[in-house]
Structure formats: structure tokens, C-alpha cells
Structure 1
Amino acid sequence: MTGAQGAAWSFLVAGDERQFQGNAGYEDYVEESYSYDSTVGNHLRVAEGDLVVVRSGQEALGVGYVEVLDVLPDQKKTRSRCPHCASTGFKERTTQRPRFRCSPCSNTFEEPEVETISVTAYRAHYGGTWQPLEGCLDKAVLAELSLSKSDQQSIKAMDRVRTLAAVEARGIRLPQQSCASGRHRPSELPGGRMRTSAAVRRGQNAFRRALVRRFGMVCAVTGPAPAEVLEAAHLRPFAATERHRLEEGIMLRSDIHRLFDSGLLTFTPELVVKVAPSIAAHAAYGALDGIVLTVPDGIELDRVVIAAHYEATVSTW
């Protein structure tokens, strides 16, 4: 992975940390662009070509390069303030009265003071280089990579070299940075449907997320792969146990997963790949026979379950 030139940032998307009642909100299209304005810290420092990690309050959602940065001056923004200290850092309470409580001054009140201000609005587009992270980098790792210790900043400076290394170590392959600079982005943001992760489509979100954190975006057989083709595989059929045990889980590319479930590919207890003779003539799959699974240090797999699958599978060949 290349791209050591330029800055790096983490962008906080909509959530509790970005929804203080003093802020009317921003239009975030997580996979495409990030919107902010001149009231946000570091707004003048973000530039085309910068690396961005889009984060929620708990983890990284994805990564990309800023391809185009739209600047829209003289935009009107409605902002609410605490009537006691003029802070915008207050939240609405759902079960208590008065409705609002201000964090900076601890006062409570029923209605804020409302003002309209003129701001410069910005929209950073990165959709052409977007790579899903799906929690590969959790909150603790992001904090280690950040150059700021504040949890409240919407735009936080990151250590670019270390962030790129952390992303690459988890199997993410970004496009060349030169491919991102000056890329044309549509003036109208996409409506209708958005691309979603395979985890949502297959209905085993928690299991997939846990395996992504263990293995990264890496197929244990073929190596790093796009998130869209990686699947959370059970080493023992889920229907037999209806349990999601991490020791019985592994990340596999979708075609490898199908071969594994179909009894055409298996692993020895020593974690060596074995391919059925019936598909060995296919060069792409025959070449996999004999390779050792990629499993990070410290990650344990249930060798008993693997041995059972191996014995049951090869007996049919």
C-alpha cells in the first residue's frame, strides 16, 4: 500500500457524539461523502488526497482518500444555544424535565435560544476509493492512531503512516493514491439504495463482526479480499449446533466458502488445504491444494471440529 503524502483524518458520522441539540445535523452518506462546516474544528485543514477513516462512536466503518472537496460559502445554519452559558453542547432528556441539560454548565432548561449564522459548508467525497472496515479498527485502536486525545472532535487528525499500516495489516487494499486525486464526483448524491455489507445480507451480523476483528478482511485460504466477497464461515454446520462459536469460525472468500460447505475443499487438522480431485483440474483451485491457512498468531481454531470435517469430506472423494 502506498500513500504516505498528505494528512490523515477520522470523520465522526451521525450518532450521539455528533447530535448535540445545538447542531441541526449534517447530511452524511457514509460510503460516499462527509459534510461539515466552518464551525467544526480542523475544517480548513482537510484537503484533496488526504486519507480519511470514517468512524462511529465505537469503531471504524471504512477508509478512503478525499477525491474532491466541495466548498460552499455563505450557507445559512440554524444553531441553538444554552440560555445560561451560550454553549451548543447540550442534549435533550427523554424522561426528565426540564427537557434539556447543558453539559458545560450543568443547567437545565425547557427551550434553547435559537440563532441563524452564516457558515462555509464543505463536503469531502471519497466514494471512489471507499473500502469497508466493518470494525477492523475498534475505538481503542483508533485512539492509538489519533494525534488528538479528545473524544468530542468530529474531525480528528490521525498518524497517516501508522493508520495505513494498521489498515493494510487487516487485509484492506486501498487504490493507489494517484487514482483518487481530482476524481470527478457527481453533483447529485446517490438516492434510493446504498451498497451494504455482506453481514447484513446474511443475517449473522455479530458473528461476522467478531470474525472480522479476529482475522481482518482476509480469506484464510486465498488472502486479503474485498469485504463484499468475504463471508463468515462455520467450520461445523450452523444447522447442527445453532451456535456461533468463534473457535469454529473463519473468514472465507465466497467461492471458497461454497466449496467448503459442498465438500469439495477441506482442511487437515494441521490447517493444510486439501482440494477434491474432481475440481483439481481447475487451475485456480488446484493451486490451493497443500497451502497452509492464514491464521493470525494467538487465534485458536477448534482442531477437533476441523478434523471431523476433514474425515467426513475426504471419505466422499
Structure 2
Amino acid sequence: MGLGDITADAVSTAMAEHDRLGLIEFCNQHGFDRFRNYVIADDTRRYGTRVITAAAHGRLPGQVPLTPPEVADDDLVNQLLEGLGFEVRELRPPKWTREELTLACSQLFSNDRVAQRVNDPAVQHLAAFLRRLPFHAPQDRGLNFRSVNSVQRKLFDLGTRLPEYKGKRTRGGALDEVIIGEFLADEAEMHRRAAAIRAEHEPKAWALFSAERKHDSDAGSSGVLGSSFVYDNNFSRSQELREGHVVVIHDDEDVLGIARIGRIDHEDGQAGVTKYVAYYGGTWRAVDGAISSDDLKDASTDMAAHDVIKPLDIDKVEAMLARVAVSLPSQAAEARSVAKIRSVRRIVTGKDVRGGEDDGVAPTGGRREIKAKARKGQDKFRKKLIQRYGHVCAITGRCPAEVLQAAHLRSFAEHETHNLDEGVLLRADVHLLFDSGLLAVDPTTRRVVLAPSLSTYPHYTQFDGAEFAVGPSEKAITDHFLAVTGAWIGQQGGNQEGL
């Protein structure tokens, strides 16, 4: 069966289910987000065309609901629904709020009251910022919500309300003239209001301190490294953390990892103490000492000596991570991944997966559940290599910290020394090939060569001829090459077991 087999009765049944569960519950159950470009209009109710069509397919005999990619073609979905007698409408972007117009007017007045074009970076930045604001629910945003073109048009609309404009006014909105009037009356105050809106909603990053409890003041700070951070309202700035904020987890010595908060739960306790659990496991990226806690101070905006929660400059955090080949977790990618995983889990388990069902009971009391340093294979040698090369395998490129291992160009068992110039970072499987004498580096070209026995493994033959990292000792590379390749061609002295 395909889309063409969906019936009007199946669609109506899906709409009834939507009414019973509500929009959020219905979308979560079927693995969809709440963004809708087109809706079925039924009196005053609105139903997203894609999710309704996907659910309707599951109402057919012997069929299951469709996934988001299977109903991604709006034209095909809309044609089907209209053919079944349903009214389909494009969801128009919502009206501009006072806050949005204040930001737009601030931009206009900052540019000598001249509306900038779509290719102007300031307009592009404003559009991106407006799309991040929480004033409109995702299901109400519609197609092209605060696109660069729509923002440029609004700047022009506002410009036609200025007293010096002599042309014909555009249609705009009634609030446009009100906000323009407020800027004309007190421009400095309105710019301050715009700055306050930006300060409240700009992307934020936080340094969260994680270590074994040393003082009574540490009570309330716990969690599970790589999954959650537990804190309470006794901590300074505890009320400022929000879903979507970036968090950098560190201890006394190192940055352990970075993530983006996906959800914050709270639980009221005794004596007015509220415990919070910030979950971030979906975007956790281990850093494993590539950045020190001292380095993190360069990104701070207020590193008070004993604060567990400290604000960071997110641009500096991003630049710091880029130097070690780690990128900020993507909020949009996480949302798509969560929706997909929920859909699959619902099919596998036969249960709806919502909220924190998989996270178990939030930690309570002062009990510490932190795993302060989950350092698989971590030692000082590996840490120094990560600080030198970042999270980059010398052959395959950027890698998650969890699969990067410290490799010796000369056998440690033979020399028992950790010479940094004779060490490289290698992905775990590549490291095994390297130590097994199945991979070497041509010292004349610094490109990878593979043992003939790997020629039937396409996953690894792609690395034949790959450029090797710059930095390791040329003599160590040469010695390793001669020993390994000698074994391949049957030369004596090329015993790979001695590597």
C-alpha cells in the first residue's frame, strides 16, 4: 500500500486521535516535531498535514504509521488530502510581537533609519536570532518563519512609517507605527530595551563544576557524567539554566565534555530547597582533557572562585573547541534525532516514549551519583597527545574522544618510554591494525600504506594513500615502516610481533 490507499475515514480517525491526545502528545507518539507548513482546516481546528497522513496510514488494515521522511513531499500529501475532500491551507507566519518589532526597529535606527538588504550580514543575523526566540510556538510558525526575506521586508515596512519617508506606505501592521513612535520619542531607551531582549535570549553557555565532594557547600551538585547534572536553588545562577543552553562540564584540572541541555526537571524538597536535574546525554561529547580548566577561564564572563555554575562566552567556547576539532552540539540535530528515536522505540516496545521515561528516577537528597572521570584508556600520554593534536585521528580525521587511543610508533613493551614525538592518536580499530603490522606510513610521502591482506576490505582500503598527520618523529615513522613492510615481503628483521 502507498499514500494513494489512504481513505477519508482513516484521515478522520487520525484527526479524532489528534483531538484526544492533543498536538504535542500526538506528534510525539508518531515521531514528528510540531513544525507545520500546511494544515487541514476544520472549523477552528488545525491539523498538520504530514503527521495526520502518516497516522492515517497506520489505520489501514495490516499497515503501520509512516515516518517523517515518507511524507516529506508536501505537494503529494496535499494533493492526496484535497482529493479526499479536506481543506488544506498554508500556515502563514504569525504576527510580529512587540519584542520582535523592538529588535527590528533597533536595527533600522542603528543603520541611520535605512532598511538593509537581504545580503547584509546584520539582516541575516537578526533573522537567525528571531527564529530562536520563544514568542511563537513551533506549530504556529508556518513556512518561511522570519526568513531573511521576511525580515528585510519588515525593516522596509517600518521605514515607510518614518516621518521623513515621502513615498507610499506599505501595509505593515498597526503595531509597527506604535513601536516607531516609541523610538522617535526616546530612541536611547528603546535601544536599551532591545539590548535587554537580546541579553535575555542570546544563546548561553555555562561551565558546570563536577568533582567529588570536598566541602559541605558542594551538597546538591551531582549527576551522572555524560548524562545529567544535578544542582539545587542554593547555587548562584541556578535559575538561569535553560533547555538549549550549552554546558561545559569540568573538574579541577580538565574539561571533561560538552553538551546542550535537552530537558530540565525539578523536584521540591524540604526547607525550601528545589533540586534540578539537567539532562544532556543526547548531545554529550567527551573532551578528555584536550582543554584544561585553566584554559576555560579565557572563555569566562564571570569566573567567581567557588561558583559551581559559571557563565561563558559561547563564541569563545566555540573557538576553543574548534582548536581541538570538537564542534558545539546541534540543537536542531538533537531534536530530529530524538523524534526519530522515539518513533522507533514506540514501534519496538509498543509504548509511547515521552519526556524522561528512560532516564529513571532523578537523584534525590545529597547523595552523589557522579562518575567524576570516566577515562577509558586515558593516561597522561594520551592526554598530552590530545592537547597537541586535538580530537583527530592521524589517519581518519576527526573522531569522538571515546574511540581515540594513544599509539606508539615504537613498541612501548620494547622501549618502555612515552616519547610524545613518537606518539600519535589513532582510531581504535586503526590502532589495532597499526599494532598488528597491517598498516604503516611511507616516510617519503607521509601517506598510509596497507598490508596486501587488507585489499579485500573496502572499509579500510579507502585509507590507502591517506595523508598522515604532521608532527610525529620522521625517524620513528621510517623505522616502523621498514619493520612492518619487511614482514609483508618476507624480509628478515620484519617480525611484526616485535613492534
Residue from 408, 428, 431 that aligns with 1:234: 408
Tell me the residue number matched to 1:128: 282
Shift of 1:284: 2.5
- The equivalent of 2:114 in structure 1 is none
> For residues 251 and 69 of structure 1, what CA distance do their matches in structure 2 show?
36
* Contact 1:65-1:180 within 8 A present in 2 as well: no
- Deviation, 1:23, is 4.8
Q: Which amino acid aligns with 1:41?
A: S
- In structure 2, the CA distance between the partners of 1:283 and 1:26, relative to structure 1 (3 Å rule), is same
After TM superposition, give the deviation of residue 174 of structure 1 in Å.
Answer: 5.2
Partner of 2:275: helix, strand, or coil?
Answer: strand
Correspondent of 2:313 among 140, 143, 159: 159
After alignment, is 253-262 or 19-28 more displaced?
Answer: 19-28
Q: Is 1:283 the equivalent of 2:458?
A: yes
Q: Which residue of 2 aligns with 1:94?
A: none
* Deviation of 1:250 (Å): 0.6
Is residue 224–residue 370 contact of structure 2 (8 Å, CA) maintained in 1? no
What does the per-residue CA deviation read over 1:113-140, in whole Å, with 9 as the maximum and x for residues that have no partner? xxxx422221111112111111111123
Which one is further off, 252-261 or 279-288? 279-288
What's the offset of the Cα at 1:169? 3.2
- Residue of structure 2 equivalent to 1:305: 476
Q: Distance in 1 between matches of 2:220 and 2:369?
A: 21
For residues 217 and 467 of structure 2, the distance between their equivalents in structure 1, rounded to whole angstroms, comes to 55
User: Residues 11 and 193 from structure 1, CA distance in 2 versus in 1: closer, same or farther, beyond 3 angstroms?
Assistant: closer
From the CA coordinates, give the structure whose radius of gyration is larger. 2
3-state SS in 2 of match to 1:315: helix
What is the TM-score with the length of structure 1 in the denominator? Answer: 0.75
1:216 and 2:390 correspond: yes
CA distance in 2 between partners of 1:223 and 1:254 (Å): 13
Deviation at 1:193, TM superposition (A): 11
**Counterpart Cα distance in 1 of 2:407 and 2:230:** 37
- Report the equivalent of 2:124: none
Alpha-carbon distance change, 233 to 215 in structure 1, aligned in 2, over 3 angstroms: same
Deviations 1:5-42 (A, max 9, x none): 62111100124xx6333454433222211111222111
Which residue is 1:14 aligned to? 211
Q: 1:246 aligns with which of 401, 404, 420?
A: 420
The answer to whether 1:53 aligns with 2:224 is no
Q: Give the deviation of 1:162 after TM superposition.
A: 2.4
Q: Does 1:34 find its partner at 2:205? A: no
Give the deviation of 1:175 after TM superposition.
Answer: 4.5
Q: Normalized against structure 2, the TM-score is what?
A: 0.49
RMSD: 2.8
Matched residue count: 264
Q: Is contact 1:9–1:157 with CA below 8 Å preserved after alignment?
A: yes
Could you say which residue in structure 1 is the equivalent of 2:493?
A: none
SS state of the match for residue 318, structure 2? helix
Q: Provide the C-alpha distance between the structure 2 equivalents of 1:22 and 1:197, rounded to a whole number of angstroms.
A: 26
Moved more, 211-220 or 171-180: 171-180
Report the structure, 1 or 2, having the larger helix content: 2
Of residues 310, 322, 345, the one that matches 1:168 is 322
State the distance in 1 between where 2:275 and 2:308 align: 15
**Counterpart-to-counterpart distance in 1, 2:370 and 2:231:** 23
The residue type equivalent to 2:451 in the other structure is: A
Moved more, 286-295 or 190-199: 190-199
**Deviation of the 1:159 alpha carbon:** 1.3
Q: Is the 8 A contact 1:35 1:123 kept in 2?
A: yes
1:147 to 278, 297, 301: 301
- Which aligned pairs between 1:176-187 and structure 2 lie closer than 5 A? 176-180=330-334, 184-185=355-356, 186-187=359-360
Q: Give 3-state SS (helix, strand or coil) of 2:377's partner.
A: helix
Q: Distance in 1 between matches of 2:369 and 2:298?
A: 37
For residues 148 and 256 of structure 1, what CA distance do their matches in structure 2 show? 42
What is the aligned-residue identity percentage? 33
Cα distance change of structure 1 residues 21 and 31 upon mapping to structure 2, 3 Å threshold = same
In structure 2, what is the Cα distance between the partners aligned to 1:23 and 1:221? 43
Instruction: Structure 2: give runs of 5+ residues left out of the alignment.
Output: 1-128, 133-201, 339-354, 489-499
Higher RCO (Cα < 8 Å, 6 or more apart): 1
Q: The residue matched to 1:316 in structure 2 has which SS?
A: helix
Structure 2 letter corresponding to 1:305: A
Deviation, structure 1 residue 287: 2.2
Which residue of structure 2 lines up, in the alignment, with residue 86 of structure 1? none
How much does 1:67 deviate?
A: 0.7
- 1:8 maps to a residue whose letter is A
Q: Which amino acid aligns with 2:284?
A: W
* Pair 1:149–1:189, CA change in 2 (3 A): closer
Is the Cα–Cα contact under 8 Å of residues 301 and 311 in structure 2 kept in the other structure? yes
Local SS of the residue matching 1:166: helix
Query: In the aligned structure 2, how far is the partner of 1:316 from the partner of 1:141?
Result: 45
Does 1:316 pair with 2:487?
yes
Deviation at 1:274, TM superposition (A): 1.3
Which structure carries more strand by proportion? 1
Amino acid in structure 2 at the alignment position of 1:290 = G
Does the C-alpha gap of structure 1 residues 24 and 173 become closer, same or farther in structure 2, counting only changes over 3 Å? closer
Could you tell me which residue of structure 1 aligns to residue 91 of structure 2? Answer: none
Unpaired runs of 5+ residues, structure 1, are 77-116
Separation (CA, whole Å) in 2 of partners of 1:23 and 1:252 = 38
